[in-house]
Amino acid sequence: MAGAGAAASDELKVLGVWPSPFVIPVRIALNMKGLSYEYVEEDLYNKSLLLVGSNPVHKKVPVLLHGGRAINESQIILQYIDELWAGTPALLPSDPYERATARFWAAYIDDKVRSAWVVMVFRYKNKDEWAEGVARAGEALDTLEGAFRDCSKGKPFFGGDGIGFVDLVLGGYLGWFGAFGKIIGRRLIDPAKTPLLAAWEDRFRAADVAKGVVPDDVDKVLAYQQVLLAR
């Protein structure tokens, strides 16, 4: 169902890769806004002319095509969606301080969680380096446990009663967290160490807007990782 402001002339298309932690937040945000869109799966080793033409600088996903115009970079796309289709549900708070705080924690995730994820998916040479990536992710999640406590103010999500900007940015990694959990024999967001985040993960995964977008087949994710490593 198309949301307010989505006319036939404003066709929405997302170029992505299904387990990408940067594509998933965009798709969930569009679902939250009630916007209809076409999802186009890309092969990053045989990139389409549409992708290369839409993102000629980085040639990466996600790309949001809105009425034929391209918007690139995951967090920029999220802010574009929130500004253009304003109102409820809002992705970013209306209060300037709370909005700045949300952007800070989203940037923290993009720095600390992303760097650990890159090590665990691509850039490890042995088990020790992979374990170091796990440890770095755990340190970032420990910090985010406190951030969740402060930002949520006792409510279900970083964004309060509903999923918000920080929830989306962190939630994009949950498919990979599940896959890594199978390797280490426990949840990466460990209920024993970060109980608030563990409960948040369960709520995020269960949200209707996330179903079918956040990968829940850990074996499929791990098989995709092997394809990436082989290439």
In whole angstroms, what is the distance from residue 208 CA to residue 204 CA? 9
Q: Please report the domains of the chain, with CATH numbers, ordered by start residue.
A: 8-84 (3.40.30.10), 96-230 (1.20.1050.10)
Q: Is the pLDDT of residue 9 over 60?
A: no
The predicted structure's pLDDT at residue 55: 97
- Write the single-letter amino acid at 149: R
Strands 69-72 and 38-41: unpaired
The predicted structure's pLDDT at residue 52: 97
The predicted structure's pLDDT at residue 2: 37
CB under 8 Å, gap of 24 or more: what pairs does 93-98 form? 93/159, 93/160, 93/164
Is the model more confident about 113 or about 231? Answer: 113
Order the strands of the 12-16 sheet from edge to edge: 38-41, 12-16, 63-66, 69-72
What count of Cα atoms within 13 Å lies in the side-chain half-sphere of residue 200?
33
Q: Is the pLDDT of residue 183 over 50?
A: yes
Max distance between CA atoms of the chain, in angstroms, equals 52
Q: Are 225 and 179 in contact (CB under 8 A)?
A: yes
**Predicted confidence (pLDDT) per residue in 155-179, tens digit:** 999 999 999 999 999 999 999 999 9
Mean pLDDT, rounded, for 88-104: 96
The predicted structure's pLDDT at residue 10: 80
Question: Using alpha carbons only, what angle is made at residue 213 by residues 121 and 16, rounded to the nearest 5 degrees?
Answer: 65
